[in-house]
Chains A and B, each alone.
Chain A
Amino acid sequence: MIEAKTLSKRYNERLVVQDVSLQIPRGGVTAIIGPNGAGKSTLLSMISRLTPMSAGSVEIDGMDVTRTPGPELAKRLSILRQHNQTSLRLSVRDLVAFGRFPHSGGRLTAEDQHHIDEALDYLSLNEFQDRHLDELSGGQRQRAYVAMVMCQDTDYVLLDEPLNNIDMRFAVDMMQLLRRAADEKGKTVVVVLHDINFASCYSDHIIAMRGGKLAWQGTPDEVMRDEILSELYEIPMQVHELNGQRICVYFRMG
């Protein structure tokens, strides 16, 4: 379980995240949604100790993220941020192999190679594995980074807007993959999403943030409602039920 207690982040005088307390249970897919500047990414990076918190605490299975040794935590929790740029000439396989660093300290064992193959396979990157990162499209590079995180083989996988810059096909692939990781491998996936319909269709739990605060949380059925979403995004929004999925329409209202 991920437990955040009265978590706040302040940049100078500006409170980006304000007093957020929440629990994310083990297993399943949790989506964090909300308008720009709601503090979603900041919340995620505080949970994953990439950004130090101004106040409050985060525990992962009872381990305080600011006090637990880095390598220890890296075997339990992985985080992938949005902008992953590197000027290094690395092959896809080399990048994915870095995912094993917390386990083997960079000296790859046969078991590590097995994990690497599996991760490459999982993200259908087999044919690209010897290509260099700078020769890939944005979507392929994104998948290579996700493969690295999968290869890290942690119980908790946190992803900040993994659907950015990828087309619909890969977006669906990616969400199905995260779903499978939760269902088949028992991983706890926490993902920041901009497209609320993906959140509705693929997650078990939705956390909605606005103005640095926790606005709503619950199952997609509970959160995907006209009045909640309209208030959250401050535009008229309508939720329809299509093929048993709650789909929100907001493109051109009235």
Chain B
Amino acid sequence: MGLTTAARWRLLLVAVLAVLSIVGFMTWNVQSDWAFIIEYRGSRLLAMLLVAVAMGVSTLVFQTLTHSRILTPSLMGFDVLYVLVHALGLAFWARLGLGSMPAVVFVLDVLLMAGIALVLFRLLFGDSVRGLHLLILLGMLGGLLFRELTELALRVLDPTEFSIQSGRSIASFSRINLSLLWVALVLTLGCVTLVFTQRRRLDVLNLGRDVAINLGVSYRRTVTLLLVVASVLVSVSTALVGPMLFFGLLATNLAYWISGTHQHSWTLVTTVLVAVVCLVGGQLLVEQILQSRLPFVMLLELCGGVLFILLLLRGVRE
């Protein structure tokens, strides 16, 4: 296995671009004093790095488990499920007096989310071989359902809670939820370390269920663990910047192309680098260098969306 020479050069280029993006983001057009810049831009940068890592890694893991280059946790509604859990939980946590501790609420949300994911997978997997396909179909439906339920929940909550709610819970890129930065950092590092230790098993899982079991991978346990980890990573990303539908898809597919391999020790690293370039580099380019008023996340999602359609069309043709 390993990389071809061309792939090595491409990877090196992406790595250089990632570093340039980060440096550029911190230093471009600095007008006020450095202490402020480092704190202001630094926290924003950290949030974006965490989102890049969380979305990239969770999508990659998910695509390996589902043997698909098109499905992502976002398309299956993981991110809206998190928003729903958060919205429904908020009123409850507030009553327990935890309303003023966003980090604690966040951890509780993530635990709840992981728990729900775990129960759903256990129920759906059963002992059936077709479990995963069923899961995908239900996930697509679930995505829609969660979206509608979230809408409903937000309307049903009483007005004061709603205003707290909409002001605080649905983060976006222009309103990054910085209060959760440190918890998010710990969770992301934990999850990514875990995924990285499983990278060789992921390679085997890529060959399909039967081959993986033949080669001694405890299929059900490993898949459940990895799906739960993916759901935690999606929660982290959604809590920081809100739902993003196509970003993960963009990052993994670019990474498959750049690395030209399916070996996870390479694709994991490549996906993260690509995600950083897209997110941090894209932000720098559109908002700082080009001084454009266009919301850059929209552009990113547009690229991802176009890629999604292209992949679908190619899938249809094959």
B207 lies within 8 A of A81 (CB): no
In this complex, the member of A52, A74, A106, A152 whose beta carbon has the largest number of chain B beta carbons within 10 angstroms is A106
Q: Complex: how many Å from CA A152 to CA B216?
A: 11
Q: How far is the CB of B210 from chain A (nearest CB, A)?
A: 5
Q: What are the residues of chain B within 8 A of A84 when measuring CB–CB?
A: 208, 211
Q: Contacts A72-B216, A73-B216, A94-B1: A105 and B211 contacting too (C-beta < 8 A)?
A: no
Interface size class of B (residues with CB under 8 A): 20 to 34
Q: At the interface, is chain A mostly helix, strand, loop or mixed?
A: loop
Q: At the interface, is chain B mostly helix, strand, loop or mixed?
A: loop
A89 part of interface (Cβ distance < 8 Å) = yes
Q: Complex: how many Å from CA A78 to CA B216?
A: 9
Of A43-51, A164-172, A190-198, A231-239, the one with at least 4 CB within 8 A of chain B: A43-51
Q: Complex: how many Å from CA A71 to CA B219?
A: 11
Residues of A within 8 A of B (CB-CB), count? 36
Q: Which of B127, B216, B260 contacts A102 (CB 8 A)?
A: B216
Contact with B along A202-225 (1 / 0, CB 8 A): 000000000000000000000000
Chosen A-B contacts, 11 in total, with CB atoms closer than 8 Å, are A50-B209, A70-B219, A74-B214, A79-B214, A84-B208, A84-B211, A86-B208, A89-B260, A97-B1, A106-B203, A107-B200
Q: Complex: how many Å from CA A140 to CA B262?
A: 22
A88 lies within 8 A of B262 (CB): yes
B214 lies within 8 A of A50 (CB): yes
Q: What are the residues of chain B within 8 A of A101 when measuring CB–CB?
A: 200, 204, 215-216
Q: Which of B208, B209, B213 contacts A70 (CB 8 A)?
A: B213
Q: Across the A-B interface, how many residue pairs have beta carbons closer than 8 Å?
A: 65
Q: Complex: how many Å from CA A48 to CA B213?
A: 9
A79 lies within 8 A of B210 (CB): yes
A98 lies within 8 A of B207 (CB): yes
Contact with A along B113-140 (1 / 0, CB 8 A): 0000000000000010100000000000
Closest A residue, CB atoms, query B217: A70
A152 lies within 8 A of B1 (CB): no
Q: How far is the CB of A146 from chain B (nearest CB, A)?
A: 12
A residues bordering B, Cβ < 8 Å?
48-52, 69-75, 78-81, 84-91, 94-95, 97-99, 101-102, 105-107, 149, 152
B residues bordering A, Cβ < 8 Å?
1, 67, 127, 129, 200-201, 203-204, 206-211, 213-219, 260, 262
Q: How far is the CB of A154 from chain B (nearest CB, A)?
A: 9
Q: Complex: how many Å from CA A174 to CA B253?
A: 38
Q: How far is the CB of A11 from chain B (nearest CB, A)?
A: 10
Q: Complex: how many Å from CA A98 to CA B202?
A: 12
A87 lies within 8 A of B67 (CB): yes
Closest B residue, CB atoms, query A86: B207
Q: What are the residues of chain B within 8 A of A81 when measuring CB–CB?
A: 210
